[in-house]
Amino acid sequence: MKNNQAQGPSARQEINSGVAFFRGELMPFENANVSIATHGLNYGTGCFEGIRAYWNGDHHELYILKAREHFERFLRSAKILKIQVPYSADELVEWTRKMLQANRFEQDVYIRPLAFKGAAMIKVTLSGIRDELGIFAVPMGDYVATEGLKATVSNWVRIADNIIPSRAKVTGAYINAALANDDAALDGYDEAIMLSQDGQVAEASSSNLFVVRQGRLITTPVTADILEGITRQAVFELAADLGFVTEERAIDRTELYVADEVFLCGTGVQLAGVVEIDHRTIGIGETGPMTAALQRAYFQAVRGYDSRHRDWVTPVYEGEGR
């Protein structure tokens, strides 16, 4: 399987079965429950990660993509929210492997670690509240199409870092993305692009953004109220492999309209080409050559085909004696 998309159900599916890791042990997914009074549910006092694992039928192996990097960011998010996670990044990777093995997945999977304030408590605070940790997974295909996307610049402004930490994946903060994305969808677009409070481009509703101008890959800096994307960093690595010049700088809204290429990147969206923004055609109206080259390289790497980036992937079943 060497194509440019994940294989599996929609991200809109309801999850109702499988094996999860919760409260320090593996258990049936339906038993991993919390009270309706849980602090994290009521106030959004939690953080999460989104991690993909890709099935390689040739290798008969499931590869977790950038597992350690995701859990290192997860621990940084937890630190910002004063959530105590009783495991190291490596231990979390190993528990994730065990959870995936217990589910016997042989298809592309989306993994969701979640840490949150778990006490049934009304007080709005972070300190002195019991913490909880869970990890579950579900088969999932593309979050959005990987080419032909139509986007709009949202009226909803990206939350600033000194309002809600933008470099942490805070559960409550994602209402900002949900509002922007829902409005975009109702207006017939596939995605929303969000501006920061100073009116410059930040990122898409739930992914980082790159533009191509005059042969250069350009993306917004981490100081532009963006998530410090792991896929974003992977793009930099692949660009270096391909000899592409990269640049981090501010991007104006109108620069989107005159870009030669635009694409989104993130665990969910993977690498997805944008062909239209606010009814303006981007480039020639199809996935551009630099985007296409990066996509090909990315999907080779995430399925474990590229030996140069085998350190990106963690095998789930290796050494299991299958």
Q: Strand pairing partners for 62?
A: 55
Judged against a pLDDT cut of 60, whether residue 207 lies above it is answered with yes
Question: What's the confidence (pLDDT) of residue 1?
Answer: 38
For residue 319, name the pLDDT band (cuts at 50, 70, 90): confident
Judged against a pLDDT cut of 60, whether residue 322 lies above it is answered with no
Average pLDDT over residues 256-261: 98
The DSSP-derived string for 126-145 is: STT--EEEEEEEEE---SS-
List of domains in the chain: 19-139 (3.30.470.10), 149-302 (3.20.10.10)
Q: Residue 57, CB half-sphere, CA atoms under 13 Å: how many?
A: 5
**Residue 191: CB partners within 8 Å, gap ≥ 6?**
144, 149, 150, 151, 152, 181, 184, 204, 205, 207, 264, 269, 272, 274
For this structure, is 169 an active site residue? yes
Average pLDDT over residues 84-110: 98
Q: What is the pLDDT of residues 130-185, one digit of tens each?
A: 999 999 999 999 999 999 999 999 999 999 999 999 999 999 999 999 999 999 99
The percent of residues in the chain predicted with pLDDT above 70, rounded, is 98
Judged against a pLDDT cut of 90, whether residue 28 lies above it is answered with yes
pTM of the model: 0.95
Label residue 219 exposed, middle or buried (CB < 10 Å: 0-12, 13-18, 19+): buried
Average pLDDT over residues 226-241: 98
